[in-house]
Amino acid sequence: MDAQVNFGASKLTVYGNASLEQLHEAGAFENLTLYPEKEKMPDLPKEPLWKRYSLLGLSGLFLITGYLFSSNILFAMAILLGGFRLFKTGLKNLFHLEFDMKTLMTVAIIGAAIIGEWSEGAVVVILFAISEVLEGYSMDKARNSIRSLMEMTPSEALIVRNGQELVVKAEDIVIGDIMLVKPGQMIAMDGVIIEGASSVNQAAITGESVPVERAVHDEVFAGTLNEEGFLKVKVTKLADDTTIAKIIQLVEDAQAEKAPSQQFVDRFAKYYTPVIMAVAALVAIVPPLFLGDWQEWIYQGLAVLVVGCPCALVISTPVSIVTAIGNAARNGVLIKGGSYLEELGALKAIAFDKTGTLTNGTPVVTDFINYSNDGELLEKIAALESMSQHPLAGAIIKKAADVNKKYTVENFSALTGMGIKGSIAGVDYRIGNMKLFETIPAEIMEQIMELQTDGKTVMITGTKSDILALIAVADEVRESSQSVIEQLHRLGIHHTILLTGDNQQTAEAIGRMTGVTSIQAELLPEDKLNYMKKIGTQFGRVGMVGDGVNDAPALAAADVGIAMGGAGTDTALETADIALMNDDLKKLPFTIQLSRKTLRIIKQNITLALVVKLLALLLVVPGWLTLWIAIFADMGMTLIVTLNGLRLLRLKD
């Protein structure tokens, strides 16, 4: 049997067969409650504060009365009551020669009692107990961002089976079940609406604060709130495969993964603790050999043990990473590891795919220039295009969707590489490119060139002898694209590159509208990959933003791959290092700011922890280091770095 602990997610994974009772017995979890991962946190009866902290309260009472009556017995009682859990773990670790924070504290407090410093030992015990309570509260606050996501998903749903309505547990719901969702209820499973319409609050998945309208054929996600209408939803994913389940799993895995700065701290702490123990031994033994006063220098050595505890240093990075990844998830950004979070803030250049990233990814009719006197020409064109399989046909049909008139098309045929033709009411029409027409007047050709310069695809409509209209279709630039590029430039990312397989004219038009610094057009997927490698050599750390499907090689080549449209898109969740769940570029500057603030706070925490400990250790030279100062340098700093990391919760999109 093996076990793995995820500190950030507060999760224990056990490999093997064991009951909860056996795990509780084996683990000595200090009043923590284990429960199965797929179940919600049980509603445990809340202990009154006086009962939960009764030992700590009694310890404090004995400490105060000990000072009032100058009684070492009362100080000893304070030490035993306040330090019971500490000694239980510390002595066990000491027996196994495992030197962690609790081992060092246990040795220091027992040593203080041996040399007669009962009052200081009692104060250290109580301050340590208080700091552990506050530290636990702070870490719970950091973890709550994921716990709140888990609690949003209902554990059961109302299902229709064989004509009967049944309340079924989420894990027992199968693909194809029909789920009934009433107004005000949370949606329990991913699915497609087959009846009804409503506004759905998708904040848990995408970070959107404004509810979105959903109707028949639209997809809905588990953990989202049905606000208004009654919905019938056909289930499309099992409980373990829902988008929110994947998000929770990926975020928990990300919180468990150690960032580069945390790996450095762990390596440092591995050598730091033995060095501190050696320094404490030298302080306790060497000076009294020359100066005498064994008790004073043993006391100083014990204080060195306390001040040297590496807990503030060790916790400085994970608390910041856990908090930042949780905050990002709540705002609709999935970061798959601390390493990507750190890398993002150091990017020097970002490349963008065009279609579906800087543009909406759906072609629309931008211009319709009618040279004829036929007011119903657009509807006739739409009727012809409805017979076509061309990707741009849908844009024209959508443009004419509000017209109810129907036209019968006869003699329809597709002309490969040129367009389509067909007859309506005895008139032969042609729609396509310039190859379909023998002559094009100069003024119309000028208009065609202007539209093409703007990055639009132009389709000509006419008969064998006359040109009747021009239709310009384009993939529109997202409203946010230009402002996002401007924000990135202000953030110091001066190299923004557009990568596209489209033609040079279209790429240049999109580039002008968005404000990117350079353009690379007519690229195949392998060309994008090679270009990412090239700019990586040129600029250092580079990022790539794409749709997570066609851009997979380029996303993989980037230091940080960022996928658009993560909600419900398995490919985006699997291939990218970071997924923007709402298909929203505006999340990118926020995530970069979050990354940079996280890096700043990690550096602040590590520097602060080391500097304060060094200053405290220097107090040994004049003999001024006391256990009071030592406990502040250790436990006080642990609390300060934890609270500093929690400041990341305040950063909003």
Residues 486 and 419 in one domain: no
**Domain membership flag for residue 520:** yes
Q: Report residue 404's pLDDT band, with 50, 70 and 90 as the boundaries.
A: very low
| Domain stop point among 477, 505, 534 | 477
Catalytic residue (one of 177, 353, 551, 577): 353
Q: Report residue 453's pLDDT band, with 50, 70 and 90 as the boundaries.
A: confident
**Domain membership flag for residue 284:** no
**Domain membership flag for residue 616:** no
Per-residue model confidence as pLDDT tens digits over 574-609: 667 888 877 788 899 999 999 999 989 988 988 888
Find out whether 135 and 638 touch, Cβ atoms under 8 Å: yes
**Domain membership flag for residue 285:** no
**Domain membership flag for residue 622:** no
- Lowest average pLDDT, out of 403-417, 457-471, 477-491, goes to 403-417
Residues 350 and 368 in one domain: no
Query: Is residue 438 helix, strand or coil?
Result: coil
Say if residue 6's pLDDT is above 70.
Answer: no
Q: In DSSP terms, which residues pair with 458 in a beta bridge?
A: 472
Query: Is residue 470 helix, strand or coil?
Result: strand
Distance of CA 507 to the CA centre of its chain: 31
Residues 473 and 489 in one domain: no
Burial 431-468 (b: 16+ CB within 10 A, else e): bbeeebbeeeeeebeebbeebbebbbbbbbbbeeeebb
pLDDT-above-70 percentage for the chain: 80
Per-residue model confidence as pLDDT tens digits over 32-74: 566 565 555 555 455 555 566 777 888 889 989 988 988 889 9
| Domain stop point among 552, 580, 595 | 595
Domain CATH number, residue 193:
2.70.150.10
The whole-chain average pLDDT of the chain stands at 80
Residue of 607, 599, 561, 593 whose CA lies nearest to 580: 561
Residues 407 and 497 in one domain: no
Residues 524 and 577 in one domain: yes
Residues 591 and 485 in one domain: yes
Per-residue model confidence as pLDDT tens digits over 262-294: 566 666 666 777 787 788 888 888 888 877 778
pLDDT value, residue 323 = 83
**Is there a catalytic annotation at residue 353?**
yes
Residues 379 and 473 in one domain: yes
Residue of 121, 593, 84, 646 whose CA lies nearest to 345: 593
What does the alpha-carbon distance between residue 348 and residue 188 come to, in Å, rounded to a whole number? 42
Domain CATH number, residue 468:
3.40.1110.10
**Domain membership flag for residue 302:** no
Say if residue 194's pLDDT is above 70.
Answer: yes
Q: How many domains does the chain have?
A: 4
Residues 329 and 425 in one domain: no
Residues 460 and 495 in one domain: no
pLDDT value, residue 589 = 93
What is the domain extent for residue 386?
360-477
Residues 464 and 521 in one domain: no
pLDDT value, residue 542 = 92
Give the strand order in the sheet containing 178-181. 164-169, 156-161, 178-181, 231-235, 191-195, 219-220
**Domain membership flag for residue 172:** yes
Residues 520 and 469 in one domain: no
pLDDT value, residue 558 = 86
